[in-house]
Amino acid sequence: MSAAGVDDAAMTGAQPTGEAALRAEIAAIPGVARLYPASNVVARVASAVGATVAGTEPGGGDIVLAEASIAIRIGVGADRAAAEVCRAVYATARDWAAASGMHEPSIRVTVAGIE
């Protein structure tokens, strides 16, 4: 993200990678109203402190990627069944993990709210 608030990847035509790519795919799923931070408070504070020291922006923490696990917290819109949305998010995370070389990760999808 540039200082002007413009998505740099969108400006250059570059595709987002890593967590950003997965976040974009999940946000585009019908019924996903928003992503909530999946990391715990301590991890978010540590990320913010580290980013401040390094002079960078802190990571979103919306999705937690570990060596063998993925954690996602979403808000679900009232227009689709939460179970249906969770299955779509799970399938997207599973496909992303396979394409990224992550073999058989533990995937946790949590509905943090229905909006």
In a domain, 61, yes or no: yes
In a domain, 1, yes or no: no
Question: Residue 110: what pLDDT?
Answer: 94
57 by DSSP, 3-state: which? Answer: coil
Q: Can you tell me the distance from the alpha carbon of 77 to that of 33, in angstroms, rounded to the nearest whole number?
A: 5
Residue 59 structural domain:
16-114
Number of residues that this document lists for the chain: 115
In a domain, 37, yes or no: yes
Cβ contact 16:25 at 8 Å: no
Question: Residue 72: what pLDDT?
Answer: 95
Tens digits of per-residue pLDDT, 22-38?
A: 999 999 999 999 999 88
Number of structural domains in the chain: 1
In a domain, 79, yes or no: yes
In a domain, 65, yes or no: yes
Question: Residue 5: what pLDDT?
Answer: 42
Domain CATH number, residue 35: 3.30.70
Cβ contact 97:64 at 8 Å: no
Longest CA span, the chain: 43
Q: Over 60: is that where the pLDDT of 42 sits?
A: no
Q: Over 80: is that where the pLDDT of 20 sits?
A: yes
In a domain, 72, yes or no: yes
Whole-prediction pTM value? 0.72
In a domain, 5, yes or no: no
Question: Residue 12: what pLDDT?
Answer: 42
Higher pLDDT pick, 41 / 64? 64
